[in-house]
C-alpha cells in the first residue's frame, strides 16, 4: 500500500492536446452519403435509432438520448470542428487558447463565475468540467445533476455561451497567457522534443506537421486580443457545431429547449469554407534516426502506411472485424515471444491501426534492451515475416473468434447499463469523423452474422496486403550515448532482408487439453449463515474458518467482484527476504498454475469474462478478481489453483529479472524518474522496503525463496475474509464456495501482521534535485504526522484537501498565473499506527519556485489561522455528495469500502453516517483540524530544478 498517491498525471483543465489518441481529425460537412461511393450490394450502416438527432436551420446539429446510467445525471458536450489545423501562422495556439478562455468569462457567467457556479452545483473543475483541443476539433464537456431544474437550465446556457457568447475580455486574456505557458512548460521534455521531429514524417509533411495544438510561444505571449476575437467569430459557428446530451432527461422537452436556445446562432458574413485536411500517401519510403540525452532506450518503429478505411457500410464493418481478429492473434504471439529466459526486447508488437489523419498503418514497435538493438528488432520483424509466409493457424482464429463473440455477449448482457459517456463518445465520433454509429444491438447482430463467415485465408491475406515495402517509414529514437551505434537505414533494411531470408517453421500453438487442476479439492461446507437487515449483508462461515461477506447489488446485470485476504504479508519476513517476498505473487502467478504453463493458461482463459490475481502486500495476502455467472467455475477453480497448485518456472523468472535489470540501465537519464525516486526514498525514510528498484535489490530476488514464501502465505486461510459484491445469486454461488473456498487449507491459527514502524519522516526536510535540460521545475510539499484515526476526521481531512486545492487553483493559477494545475492529495491510515499526509504538487518555471512555494505555504497557513471560506466548504460538500451519489452505485466502491473496514476493524455500517457528517460539517471544524495537523513541524520540501541551475 502506498501512503501517498502522487498525482503526476495533472489532469486539471483538459486532458489537453491528445495527439493521435484515436481518430482526431476529419471532414467538415461530412455526411455518410457524400463521402462514400457505395458499392452495389453493400448496405450503409444506419445511425443508432435510439438517439434523437436533428439539424437547425442555421446548420447546428444535436444528438439527444435518454439514459439512466448514472441516475440523476446528464452529460452535455459541445463539439466544434475547429482545431489548430485551421490556424494561420499568426494564430498558432489560439484554438487551444480559446478553449481556456471558455472558462474565463461568458455573457451569463462573467470572469471566473462559471467555475464558481458549477463548483457550488457539485461539479469539479478538471475532473468533471473539462475540455480538449486537437488538430481538428475542440470539445467541451459538462456533466450535471438533473435534480435541480435551475442547474439544468444554466447548463444549457453555458453550452450556448460557449458556442457564441464568450466575452474574451482583454484583462482575462492577459492573465491566461502565463497559465498556457505553464501548460506548455509541463509538456516539455524528451517525449515532446522527439514528437516535434517525428511528426513531419508521421504525417507525410502535411499541414499537421506544423500545427501542434499547443501553438507557438511567441503567439501565445504576444497576440493582440482582437486576433483571438476574430478567430472565435470566424470559426465558432453553427454549421461546425453539435450539442450532444445524454442522461436522465425527458428527450422531447430537451429537444424543444435546444431548438429554442440555439436557433439564433449565426454564421459570420463572408463565411470561410472549413477546408478538410489530411495526410496522403506519397509512394515514398522515409527513414529517420534521432537521439536525445534524456531517452532511456532505443525504440524502432516501422509504419507501412495505407489510406485510411472508414466504416460506412456493412462491408466496411466486416473488414474492420478482420483487422480486429488479426490484431488479437498477432498480439498473443508477441506476448508468447516475450516469455523467455532472455526476452528479445523490453516491449514489442505490431498491429494495424489508424495512426494519423487520413492514414492507417501496419505499425511495428520495439523498445530494445540496451545494446541489443539488432536482435530486438529482428525478433519483432521475424514474427511479421513468419506471418506473411505461413499465416495464422486454424486454432488461433477459432480462439480469437470465440473471444470476440463472448465479449459481445457480455456487453449485450449489460446493454441497459451502458454509461452515458459511452453513448456520447459514439455520437462525437459520428459528428466529428462521420464514422458509422450503429448502436450495440445492430453491432451485435452484425458481429454474430459476420464472424462465423470470416475465413483463415481472408485474415492471412491481410498480412500480405498491409506489410508492404512502399509508403514505409522507419523511425529510430535512441539515447544520445548510443549515437555511435545508431543504425543507418541500410543497416535496418539489411536486418529485414536477413530475417526474410531465414528458414522458418510455422508458429506452434501450445494448447493443453488437461483439466486446470492436477488435484480436485475435497469440498467443505457452509456451517453458519446470518443476514444483517441494517446493512443488507449476508455472512457465511465456511467449515475451514473462512468468513464470507456477500453484498447483493443490481448495479450490473451479471458481475461479481471479489477480494479475499488474511493478515501477515511481507511484514513477517526479514529485510533480507523482502525482495523475494514482495515480488513472490507476481513471479509465481506469471508461471501459470495447476496443469498449465503460462501460455496454456492464457489460452484457457481467453474469452472468459473473469480474472483472478493473487497478491502479497505489506500487511495482508489474498486474491482479487471478478467473474460473471457463466464463468464462476473457472474463476473459483483458478483461485483454488493459485492457492494450492502454484508453479515455478525458471525460464519465466529469468526473463522477468533480465528485463527488470535492462530497464534500469539508463533510468537516471530521465529527470522525472530521478525526481520520483527521490520522493519515494525520502518519504519512505530511506527504508529499503520503500526505496526504488536497483541492481542490488533485483539480485536479492531468489526464485526458490519466492516460491516457498508464496506457498507459506497461502498455506493457511484461517480467519480469511472473503468479500463478494455484485448481482449475486446465492443458490448458484454457494456450491462454488463449498467446493473451492471451503476446501482451502487451514490450520486453525490466525496470523497477525508485524508493525515495521515505517512512516514519512518527521521534522523539517528539504532536498533539491538537479536534473533535466528544459527550463522546468517540479515542486512537492508534504505535511505529515501522527493521526487520531476516526471516520469523521478522515472526512474532515478530505474537506481540508479539497478547500486547499480550490485555493491553490485560485491563487497560484488564476491570480498569479504561475502554474497550470496545482494538486493536493490527502491520505490517512489507521494501521499499524494512525498517520496522515497532505501533499501539494505542481510544476512551474525555475525562476518562480520560491514565490509559488511561498504562496502555497501561505494558503496552508491561512487554512490554519482563518479556516476555509464557508463558500469553499459548501463547494466541497456539493462536490463530495455529488461524486459519492454516483460512486456508491458501483460494485468496486463497495468492495473497497468493505475490505477497508474489515482490515481496519471498523464497523461495516459506518458509511450510513456519511451524508449526515458531510452535510453537518462546518468551516470551524475544518479550521480546527488544519490547526491540529498542518503545524509545519513535519514538513518536507522537494524540488526538481534543471541541471543548468546547479552549474551556476
Ligand atoms: Zn490547456
How far apart are the CA of 219 and the centre of ligand 1, in A?
A: 15
How far apart are the CA of 428 and the centre of ligand 1, in A?
A: 20
How far apart are the CA of 101 and the centre of ligand 1, in A?
A: 10
Mean pLDDT (whole number) for 305-332: 96
Q: What is the pLDDT of residue 39?
A: 55
β partners of residue 243: 62, 78
Q: What is the pLDDT of residue 901?
A: 98
Flag whether pLDDT at 840 surpasses 50.
yes
Q: What is the pLDDT of residue 829?
A: 97
Flag whether pLDDT at 481 surpasses 60.
yes
Q: What is the pLDDT of residues 540-571, one digit of tens each?
A: 999 999 999 999 999 999 999 999 999 999 99
Q: What is the pLDDT of residue 40?
A: 52
Q: What is the pLDDT of residues 732-756, one digit of tens each?
A: 999 999 999 999 999 999 999 999 9
How far apart are the CA of 96 and the centre of ligand 1, in A?
A: 6
How far apart are the CA of 819 and the centre of ligand 1, in A?
A: 12
Binned at pLDDT 50, 70 and 90, residue 32 comes out as very low
How far apart are the CA of 463 and the centre of ligand 1, in A?
A: 40
How far apart are the CA of 22 and the centre of ligand 1, in A?
A: 19
Binned at pLDDT 50, 70 and 90, residue 22 comes out as very low
Say if strands 241-247 and 61-66 run parallel, antiparallel, or are unpaired: parallel
Flag whether pLDDT at 13 surpasses 60.
no
Say if strands 547-552 and 347-356 run parallel, antiparallel, or are unpaired: unpaired
Residues 395-420 as b or e (16 or more Cβ within 10 Å = b): ebbebbbebbbbebbbbbbeeebbbb
How far apart are the CA of 822 and the centre of ligand 1, in A?
A: 14
Query: Which 8-state DSSP code applies to residue 209?
Result: G
How far apart are the CA of 237 and the centre of ligand 1, in A?
A: 22
How far apart are the CA of 749 and the centre of ligand 1, in A?
A: 57
How far apart are the CA of 138 and the centre of ligand 1, in A?
A: 11
Q: What is the pLDDT of residues 622-667, one digit of tens each?
A: 999 999 999 999 999 999 999 999 999 999 999 999 999 999 999 9
Flag whether pLDDT at 10 surpasses 50.
no
How far apart are the CA of 431 and the centre of ligand 1, in A?
A: 23
Query: Which 8-state DSSP code applies to residue 213?
Result: T
Mean pLDDT (whole number) for 760-766: 98
Helix count and strand count (H, E) for the chain:
31, 23
Say which residues have a Cβ less than 8 Å from residue 174's Cβ, sequence separation at least 6. none
CATH topology of domain 553-713: Cytochrome Bc1 Complex; Chain A, domain 1 (3.30.830)
How far apart are the CA of 321 and the centre of ligand 1, in A?
A: 36
Flag whether pLDDT at 2 surpasses 70.
no
How far apart are the CA of 93 and the centre of ligand 1, in A?
A: 10
Say which residues have a Cβ less than 8 Å from residue 639's Cβ, sequence separation at least 6. 564, 612, 623, 625, 740, 741
How far apart are the CA of 14 and the centre of ligand 1, in A?
A: 6
Q: What is the pLDDT of residue 17?
A: 28
Q: Are 800 and 930 in contact (CB under 8 A)?
A: yes
Q: What is the pLDDT of residue 27?
A: 27
Which sign, positive or negative, has the C-alpha torsion 155, 156, 162, 168? negative
Mean pLDDT (whole number) for 427-451: 95
Q: What is the pLDDT of residue 357?
A: 80
- 661 half-sphere exposure, CB direction, 13 A CA radius: 17
Q: What is the pLDDT of residue 14?
A: 30
Q: What is the pLDDT of residues 357-413, one digit of tens each?
A: 889 999 999 999 999 999 999 999 999 999 999 999 999 999 999 999 999 999 999
Binned at pLDDT 50, 70 and 90, residue 356 comes out as confident
How far apart are the CA of 17 and the centre of ligand 1, in A?
A: 7
CATH tag for 286-501 (out of 3.30.830.10, 3.40.50.300, 3.30.160.160, 2.40.110.10): 3.30.830.10
How far apart are the CA of 214 and the centre of ligand 1, in A?
A: 8
Q: Are 775 and 819 in contact (CB under 8 A)?
A: no
Binned at pLDDT 50, 70 and 90, residue 9 comes out as very low
> SS3 of 943, please?
strand
Binned at pLDDT 50, 70 and 90, residue 38 comes out as very low
Return the H-helix or E-strand segment holding 843: strand 835-844
Phi/psi for 585 (5° steps) reads: -60, -40
- Give the separation between CA 366 and CA 671, rounded to whole angstroms: 23
Q: What is the pLDDT of residues 446-471, one digit of tens each?
A: 999 999 999 999 999 999 999 999 99
Q: What is the pLDDT of residue 42?
A: 73
Which sign, positive or negative, has the C-alpha torsion 601, 606, 608, 609? positive
How far apart are the CA of 188 and the centre of ligand 1, in A?
A: 14
How far apart are the CA of 98 and the centre of ligand 1, in A?
A: 9
Q: What is the pLDDT of residues 665-721, one digit of tens each?
A: 999 999 999 999 999 999 999 999 999 999 999 999 999 999 999 999 999 999 999
Q: Are 292 and 477 in contact (CB under 8 A)?
A: yes
Closest-CA residue to 301 (of 380, 375, 385):
380
**For residues 672, 674, 677 and 681, what is the CA-based torsion angle, rounded to 10 degrees?**
-130
How far apart are the CA of 169 and the centre of ligand 1, in A?
A: 18
Percentage of the chain modeled with pLDDT above 70: 96
How far apart are the CA of 82 and the centre of ligand 1, in A?
A: 15
Percentage of the chain modeled with pLDDT above 90: 93
Mean pLDDT (whole number) for 330-339: 94
CATH topology of domain 52-262: Cytochrome Bc1 Complex; Chain A, domain 1 (3.30.830)
Q: What is the pLDDT of residues 589-605, one digit of tens each?
A: 999 999 999 999 999 99
How far apart are the CA of 129 and the centre of ligand 1, in A?
A: 13
Flag whether pLDDT at 41 surpasses 70.
no
How far apart are the CA of 778 and the centre of ligand 1, in A?
A: 18
How far apart are the CA of 104 and the centre of ligand 1, in A?
A: 13
Mean pLDDT (whole number) for 104-119: 95
Q: What is the pLDDT of residue 26?
A: 28
Quick one: 436 exposed, middle or buried, by C-beta within 10 A (0-12, 13-18, 19+)?
buried
Q: Are 183 and 16 in contact (CB under 8 A)?
A: yes
> SS3 of 86, please?
helix
Flag whether pLDDT at 34 surpasses 70.
no
Q: What is the pLDDT of residues 128-154, one digit of tens each?
A: 889 999 999 999 999 999 999 999 999
Flag whether pLDDT at 760 surpasses 70.
yes
CATH topology of domain 764-951: Cytochrome Bc1 Complex; Chain A, domain 1 (3.30.830)
Q: Would you list the DSSP string of 383-439?
A: HHHHHHHH---HHHHHHHHHHHHHHHHHHHHTGGG--HHHHHHHHHHHHHH------
Question: Is the omega angle on the peptide bond into residue 642 within 30 degrees of 0, that is, cis?
Answer: no
**Mean of per-residue pLDDT scores for the chain:** 94
Closest-CA residue to 417 (of 809, 863, 729, 68):
68
Flag whether pLDDT at 6 surpasses 60.
no
The domain ranges of the chain are: 52-262, 286-501, 553-713, 764-951
Phi-psi region of 266 (alpha: psi -120 to 50; beta: other; left: phi over 0): beta
Amino acid at each position: 500500500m502506498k501512503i501517498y498517491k502522487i498525482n503526476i498525471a495533472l489532469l486539471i483543465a483538459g486532458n489537453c492536446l491528445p495527439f493521435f489518441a484515436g481518430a482526431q481529425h476529419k471532414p467538415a460537412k461530412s455526411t455518410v452519403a457524400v463521402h462514400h461511393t457505395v458499392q452495389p450490394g453493400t448496405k450503409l450502416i444506419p445511425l443508432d435509432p435510439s438517439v434523437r438527432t436533428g439539424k437547425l436551420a442555421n446548420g447546428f446539429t444535436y444528438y439527444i438520448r435518454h439514459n439512466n446510467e448514472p441516475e440523476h445525471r446528464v452529460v452535455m458536450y459541445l463539439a466544434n470542428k475547429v482545431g489548430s489545423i485551421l490556424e494561420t501562422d499568426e494564430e498558432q495556439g489560439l484554438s487551444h487558447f480559446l478553449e481556456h478562455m471558455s472558462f474565463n468569462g461568458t455573457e451569463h457567467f462573467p470572469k471566473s463565475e462559471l467555475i464558481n457556479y458549477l463548483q457550488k452545483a457539485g461539479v469539479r473543475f478538471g475532473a468533471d468540467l473539462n475540455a480538449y483541443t486537437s488538430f481538428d476539433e475542440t470539445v467541451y464537456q459538462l456533466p450535471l445533476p438533473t435534480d435541480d431544474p435551475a442547474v439544468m437550465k444554466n447548463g444549457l446556457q453555458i453550452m450556448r455561451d460557449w458556442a457564441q457568447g464568450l466575452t474574451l475580455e482583454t484583462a482575462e486574456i492577459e492573465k491566461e497567457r502565463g497559465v498556457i505557458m505553464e501548460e506548455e512548460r509541463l509538456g516539455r521534455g524528451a517525449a515532446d522534443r522527439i514528437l516535434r521531429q517525428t511528426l513531419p514524417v508521421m504525417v507525410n509533411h502535411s499541414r499537421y506537421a506544423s500545427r501542434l495544438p499547443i501553438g507557438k510561444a511567441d503567439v501565445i505571449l504576444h497576440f493582440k486580443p482582437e486576433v483571438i476575437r476574430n478567430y472565435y467569430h470566424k470559426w465558432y459557428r453553427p454549421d461546425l457545431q453539435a450539442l450532444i446530451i445524454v442522461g436522465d432527461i425527458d428527450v422531447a422537452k430537451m429537444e424543444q429547449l435546444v431548438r429554442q436556445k440555439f436557433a439564433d446562432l449565426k454564421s459570420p458574413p463572408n463565411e470561410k469554407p472549413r477546408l478538410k485536411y489530411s495526410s496522403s500517401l506519397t509512394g515514398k519510403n522515409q527513414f529517420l534516426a534521432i537521439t536525445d540525452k534524456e531517452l532511456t532506450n532505443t525504440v524502432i518503429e516501422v509504419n507501412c502506411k495505407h489510406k485510411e478505411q472508414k466504416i460506412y457500410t456493412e462491408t466496411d464493418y466486416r473488414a474492420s472485424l478482420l483487422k480486429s481478429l488479426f490484431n488479437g492473434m498477432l498480439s498473443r504471439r508477441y506476448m508468447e515471444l516475450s516469455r523467455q529466459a532472455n526476452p528479445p526486447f523490453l516491449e514489442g508488437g505490431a498491429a494495424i491501426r489508424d495512426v494519423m489523419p487520413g492514414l492507417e498503418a501496419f505499425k511495428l514497435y520495439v523498445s530494445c534492451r540496451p545494446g541489443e538493438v539488432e536482435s530486438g528488432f529482428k525478433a519483432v520483424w521475424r514474427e511479421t515475416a513468419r506471418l506473411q509466409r505461413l499465416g495464422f493457424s486454424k486454432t488461433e482464429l477459432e480462439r480469437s473468434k470465440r473471444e470476440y463473440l463472448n465479449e459481445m455477449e457480455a456487453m449485450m448482457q449489460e446493454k441497459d447499463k451502458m454509461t452515458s459517456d459511452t453513448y456520447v463518445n459514439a455520437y462525437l465520433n459520428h459528428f466529428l469523423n462521420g464514422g458509422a454509429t450503429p448502436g450495440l444491438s445492430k453491432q451485435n447482430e452484425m458481429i454474430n452474422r459476420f464472424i462465423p463467415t470470416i475465413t483463415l485465408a481472408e485474415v492471412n491475406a491481410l498480412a500480405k496486403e498491409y506489410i508492404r515495402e512502399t509508403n514505409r517509414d522507419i523511425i529510430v529514437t535512441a539515447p544520445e550515448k548510443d549515437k555511435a551505434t545508431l543504425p543507418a537505414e541500410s543497416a535496418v533494411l539489411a536486418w529485414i532482408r536477413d530475417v526474410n531470408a531465414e528458414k522458418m517453421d510455422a508458429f506452434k500453438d501450445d494448447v493443453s487439453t488437461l483439466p486446470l487442476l492436477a488435484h480436485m479439492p475435497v469440498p467443505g461446507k457452509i456451517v453458519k449463515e446470518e443476514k444483517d437487515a441494517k446493512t443488507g449483508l449476508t455472512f457465511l462461515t465456511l467449515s475451514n474458518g473462512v468468513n464470507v461477506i456477500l453484498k447483493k447489488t443490481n448495479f450490473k446485470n451479471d458481475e461479481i467482484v471479489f477480494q479475499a485476504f488474511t493478515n501477515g504479508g511481507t511484514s513477517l519476513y526479514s529485510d533480507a527476504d523482502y525482495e523475494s517476498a514482495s515480488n513472490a505473487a507476481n513471479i509465481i502467478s506469471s508461471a501459470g498454475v495447476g496443469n498449465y504453463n503460462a501460455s496454456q493458461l492464457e489460452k484457457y482463459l481467453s474469452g472468459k469474462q473473469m480474472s483472478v490475481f493473487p497478491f502479497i502486500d505489506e500487511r495482508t495476502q489474498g486474491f482479487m478478481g471478478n467473474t460473471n455467472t457463466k464463468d464462476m467455475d473457472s474463476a473459483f477453480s483458478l483461485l483454488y489453483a493459485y492457492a494450492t497448485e502454484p508453479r515455478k518456472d525458471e525460464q519465466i523468472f529469468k526473463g522477468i529479472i533480465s528485463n527488470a535489470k535492462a530497464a534500469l540501465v539508463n533510468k537516471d537519464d530521465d529527470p522525472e524518474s530521478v525526481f520520483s525516486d527521490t520522493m519515494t526514498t525520502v518519504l519512505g525514510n530511506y527504508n529499503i522496503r520503500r526505496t526504488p528498484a536497483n541492481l542490488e535489490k533485483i539480485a536479492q530476488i531468489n526464485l526458490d525463496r519466492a516460491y516457498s514464501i508464496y506457498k507459506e502465505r497461502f498455506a493457511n486461510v484461517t480467519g480469511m475474509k472473503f468479500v463478494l459484491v455484485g448481482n449475486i445469486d446465492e443458490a448458484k454461488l454457494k456450491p462454488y464456495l463449498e467446493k473451492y473456498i471451503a476446501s482451502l487449507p487451514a490450520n486453525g491459527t490466525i496470523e497477525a501482521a508485524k508493525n515495521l514502524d515505517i512512516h514519512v519522516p518527521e521534522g523539517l526536510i528539504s532536498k533539491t534535485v538537479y536534473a533535466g535540460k528544459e527550463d522546468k521545475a517540479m515542486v512537492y510539499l508534504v505535511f505529515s504526522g501522527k493521526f487520531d484515526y476516526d471516520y469523521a476526521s478522515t472526512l474532515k481531512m478530505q474537506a481540508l484537501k479539497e478547500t486547499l486545492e480550490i485555493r491553490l487553483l485560485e491563487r497560484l493559477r488564476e491570480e498569479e498565473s504561475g502554474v497550470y494545475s496545482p494538486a493536493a492529495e490527502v491520505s490517512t491510515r489507521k494501521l499499524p499506527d494512525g498517520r496522515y499526509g497532505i501533499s501539494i504538487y505542481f510544476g512551474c518555471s525555475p525562476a518562480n519556485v520560491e514565490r509559488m512555494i511561498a504562496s502555497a505555504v501561505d494558503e496552508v497557513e491561512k487554512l490554519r489561522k482563518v479556516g476555509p471560506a464557508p463558500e469553499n466548504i459548501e463547494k466541497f460538500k456539493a462536490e463530495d455528495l455529488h461524486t459519492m451519489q454516483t460512486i456508491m452505485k458501483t460494485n468496486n466502491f463497495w468492495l473497497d469500502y468493505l475490505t477497508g473496514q474489515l482490515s481496519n476493524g471498523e464497523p461495516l455500517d459506518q458509511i450510513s453516517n456519511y451524508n449526515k457528517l458531510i452535510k453537518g460539517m462546518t468551516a470551524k471544524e475544518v479550521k480546527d483540524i488544519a490547526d491540529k495537523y498542518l503545524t509545519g513541524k513535519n514538513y518536507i520540501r522537494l524540488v526538481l530544478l534543471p541541471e543548468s541551475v546547479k552549474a551556476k
